[in-house]
Amino acid sequence: MPVRSSFISDEKLFTLAPYSNRRNDQIIWRAGELEDCPDDLRHVGLRQREAGAMFLGIVASEGNIGPPIWVPVGVKVNAAAYQDLLRQQVRPWIDAHYTPGTWVLLSLTT
Give Cα 97 distance to the centre of its chain: 26
Do the Cβ atoms of 71 and 52 come closer than 8 Å?
A: no
What pLDDT sits at residue 100?
A: 82
What pLDDT sits at residue 51?
A: 65
What pLDDT sits at residue 85?
A: 86
Per-residue tens of pLDDT for the chain, all 110 residues: 677 888 888 788 777 655 555 555 555 556 666 666 666 665 555 555 566 778 888 888 888 898 888 887 777 888 888 888 889 998 899 889 888 888 888 876 65
Query: Number of C-alpha atoms within 13 angstroms, CB side, residue 13?
Result: 11
Supply the range of the domain harboring residue 33. 5-107
State the DSSP string of 24-81.
Answer: G-EE-S-TT-GGGS-GGGSEEPPBS--EEEEEEEEEETTS-BPPPEEEPTT----HHH
What is the pTM for the complete model shown? 0.59
CA 53, CA 43: separation in Å to the nearest integer?
28
- Overall number of domains in the chain: 1
